[in-house]
Chains A and B, each alone.
Chain A
Amino acid sequence: MTAVAEILLPLNPGIWLIVGALIAVLLPQTLSRWFAVILPVFLIAFLFSLNLDNYGTISFFDYSLETFRLDALSRVFGLIFLIASALGNLYALGDDVDKLQRSAALAYAGGAIAAVFAGDMITLFIFFEVAAVASVFLIWARRTERAFAAGMRYLIFQIGAGVILLAGLLIHFSVTGSINFDKLGLDAPGGILILIAFGIKSAFPLVHNWLQDAYPEATISGTVILSGFTTKLAIYALARSYAGTEILIWIGAVMAILPIFYAIIENDLRRVLTYSLNNQLGFMVVGIGIGTEMALNGTISHAFVHILYKALLLMSMGAVLLRTGTCNGSELGGLVKTMPWTAAFCIVGAASASAFPLFSGFISKSMIITAAGEQGYWIIWLILLFASAGVLYHSGIRIPYFAFFSEDKGHRVKEAPWPMLVAMGAAAFLCIIIGVFPVSLYAMLPFSVDYVPYTAYHVINQLQLLMFAALAFTVLKLIKIYPSDTRGINLDTDWVYRKGLMSLIIYSNRYLSTGYRVVCDGAVGIISEVINSAKQLGNNDGILSRTPALGSSIAWISGLLLLVLLLRFA
């Protein structure tokens, strides 16, 4: 093992995956399929053979870039990303995946992993963007017009967040002279911009909709792979640089609640899962905001188990989509008869997501909730408890029920192909192992774990919460109040740039000609005013001539550019 380590050092495992993406293009088809599965497994072994240290420091002009920082925090995220990559690529063997998509999947995971191991913000920024660009190909590979437009909107958000990150980074650097990627906080120079960038990438409320818009438009295996990396990379970045930032607690709480309402009424089951993903990210953001050791441990372990069960749920829905050609709840039902294994794996994922005792979600989410309680945030505590019951609704009951158990819609399809079953089986296995032996995960966390999930009161209270939530579902279903799945889409914030702005422009255009003269007259006055104030601003002491203006003007210009682009691809 050490020999392997010596050969591969000092390169970051993520960079090896990106190199692998290039190799995968050159290999013959069958070989390349398996290469994509074996490479991440091999890199997991590589990761375990290394001691925690800074590897791969290189000089870049006057600065030293730490391209491979292996500490407890980056190791646990790197590990789960490699596992997710291996499982996703294994799953993709059952899908008809071309070479471009396979390489994109490898490069995307590689970018995310390389960013996790980045010790400085330049490296972080570069690989964040590599991941963003590579990932869009997983959406475009669907090769439909819808997917193209959704991919474009996705890319605009990702690159936009990247540019904001760059602006924040430049401001931070120009003031502090440091590019270290460590604790920042809101008070640090550029801290707010960097938080916004990470916030967009982790789907904060109001800037969340790129996630629900784009992920379900990707290919079958593409959605599975996409679900793992971008948002959790942002969570990792937040955990490293904004732990204990109080505003995150409230942002996270809104994030944990809002999507569950959508998850209940959305018809496309893969889209339901993206809302559910968003809600789980909310828990993690709350944990980061609380910032105690227990809360951070909870966030990290929740990210770990969440990647597994979310991938598992999306895998099962992908298999359903592959076999039946649809993922709409209104057109599915009764599939347990013909896809029993997929149904069983889906239930394991659902139980893990809902945090049933003995399943993985139970041992992670409860740490965050307990940490909120210990710090005396009782409103947050109640919100998280409510959100937990909500998870049972959309992930725990709705997904398995509408796909596999509700009224038979007459699909007579084959069970999922074997590579998909193996990938689902492996993910399900990990969900149960972590749930039954939480120490296996706790041992890898950055802070020592002083928390016992399996106590009588905790197990009973959790079961009470979940079973009475299930009872509410049953009662509402029996008295026919529970909404049935209906065709249609539900408006979300993407309406603003897909419809609202466009209507505003068309509407205002109609009145433009009459207002033209008024505008002309006013314009002369305004222009001379602008010139005057520009003179003042551009003076030696003016706002525009100050140094940080470089960063903020980049932010402004990029903001405008993004707006125009979003309108184009509405």
Chain B
Amino acid sequence: MKNNVQEDDKMKEGLHWFDNKRNIKRIIYALYVICAALFLAEFFYHKHAVFSFDTWFGFYAIYGFIMCVGLVIGAKVIRHLLIRRENYYDSSS
């Protein structure tokens, strides 16, 4: 009974579908499944070659993955070099 009351309070505060860690896990698993399915889809459709390399097996998937990892790492390096405190421009004049 006490538990229920607490839960109700939580609901009022706005306990949300996204507050449940299990739901987040579900989303992530769904993403894995979708990615696996898309990768396997390589066997089942006719490729339309623009150049030669884009017909390599799983080209779009691998390219998307690798380039995005590179993007994030590159961005981290850039931020390390370029970040300044928020009032950087205010202090001088």
Contacts and interface: CB of A to CB of B under 8 A. Distances in A.
A489 B86 contact: yes
Interface string A444-484: 00000000000111101111111111111110101001110
Contacts of B84: 488-491
Nearest to A258: B78
B22 to A, nearest CB: 15
A464 B59 CA distance: 9
B71 A570 contact: no
Contact of B83 (A336, A337, A465, A489): A489
A487 interface: yes
Contacts of A487: 86
Interface range for B: 35 or more
A468 B35 contact: yes
A95 B5 CA distance: 39
Contacts of A338: 14
Interface of A, secondary structure class, is helix
B79 A490 contact: yes
Q: Which DSSP category, helix, strand, loop or mixed, fits chain B's interface?
A: helix
Nearest to B38: A464
Contact of B68 (A146, A374, A393): A393
Contacts of A262: 75, 78
B45 to A, nearest CB: 5
Contact of B35 (A264, A458, A462, A471): A471
A409 interface: no
B48 A457 contact: yes
B85 interface: yes
Interface string B3-37: 00000000000101011000000001001101100
A392 to B, nearest CB: 8
Given A373-B50, A373-B51, A385-B63, A460 B72 contact: no
A464 B18 contact: no
Contacts of B88: 489
Interface residues of A, number: 59
A65 interface: no
B90 to A, nearest CB: 8
B45 A456 contact: yes
B41 A460 contact: yes
Contacts of A466: 64
Contacts of A478: 28
Contact of A464 (B28, B58, B83): B58
Given A389-B67, A474-B31, A490-B82, A464 B51 contact: no
Interface in A369-425: 370, 373-374, 378, 381-382, 385-386, 389-390, 393, 405, 408, 412
Nearest to A257: B71
A399 to B, nearest CB: 15
Interface string B53-84: 00000101111110111011111101100111
A499 interface: yes
B64 A472 contact: yes
Given A381-B51, A389-B68, A336 B18 contact: yes
A502 interface: yes
B16 A337 contact: yes
Nearest to B13: A412
A472 B72 contact: yes
A377 to B, nearest CB: 10
Contacts of A462: 60
Contacts of B86: 487-489
Contacts of A463: 38
Contacts of A474: 28, 31
A264 B67 CA distance: 14
Interface of A: 146, 260-262, 264-265, 334, 336-338, 370, 373-374, 378, 381-382, 385-386, 389-390, 393, 405, 408, 412, 455-458, 460-474, 476, 478, 481-483, 486-492, 498-499, 502, 570
Interface of B: 14, 16, 18-19, 28, 31-32, 34-35, 38-39, 41, 45-48, 50-51, 58, 60-65, 67-69, 71-76, 78-79, 82-86, 88-90, 92-93
26 contacts: A264-B72, A265-B76, A337-B14, A338-B14, A373-B50, A374-B50, A389-B63, A390-B67, A390-B68, A456-B46, A457-B48, A461-B60, A464-B38, A464-B60, A464-B64, A465-B64, A469-B65, A471-B35, A472-B68, A473-B68, A474-B28, A476-B69, A483-B79, A488-B86, A491-B83, A499-B89
Among all A-B residue pairs, the 7 with the closest Cβ atoms:
A373-B50, A472-B68, A265-B79, A464-B60, A468-B64, A465-B64, A264-B75
